[in-house]
Amino acid sequence: MVIKYPIFGQDRDKWMFMIDVESDLNSCLEVIDIENKEYIGWDQMGVPIEFYLDNGKIKIKIFSEDAQLERLKEAILDYAAVARPKVPFKDSGLTDNVINLFNAVEGHIKDSGLIGKIKRFLQNKKRQRVNS
């Protein structure tokens, strides 16, 4: 079985990341976190993967050949709830594709900061002008 990128990782606090290509493993992750077994992961098909070190380089391998696509989707939705607990994420049927779902959750999370507040303010102003 071959690992299909992108891969998804989840830390102990349910925060997640997506890595598009194998060459990004060592620039996106820290060796200490791999040593401490901070992450669980999946490939885009929901196949569980394991992060490990090989001569100081971060690598991944298949942990189990039993795909857990539903578990991966749940993990992504848990990430949305942890990252932005006061505003529920509405998946709008995006759960068929984990890449689209993850990107939608990332957008949802980014909308929680100052830029998101400015966007919502401007959208409300625009609606007010249209409704006037």
Structural domains of the chain, count = 1
Confidence band of 57 (pLDDT split at 50, 70, 90): very high
Mean pLDDT of the region 4-29: 96
Q: Which long-range contacts (CB under 8 A, 24 or more apart) does 46-51 make?
A: 46/70, 46/71, 46/72, 46/98, 47/1, 47/3, 47/4, 49/3, 49/7, 51/9
Whole-angstrom CA distances from 129 to 23, 76, 104, 118, 120 are 49, 37, 28, 17, 14
**Which residues form the domain of 104?**
1-132
Confidence band of 128 (pLDDT split at 50, 70, 90): low
| pTM of the predicted model as reported, rounded to 2 decimal places | 0.81
Please give the residue that has the higher pLDDT: either 90 or 31.
31
Q: Please, are residues 100 and 8 in contact by the beta-carbon 8 Å criterion?
A: no
Question: Which DSSP letter does residue 132 get?
Answer: -
The confidence score (pLDDT) of residue 107 equals 87
Q: Is 57 exposed, middle or buried (0-12, 13-18, 19+ CB in 10 A)?
A: exposed
Looking at the predicted structure, is the pLDDT value of residue 10 above 90? yes
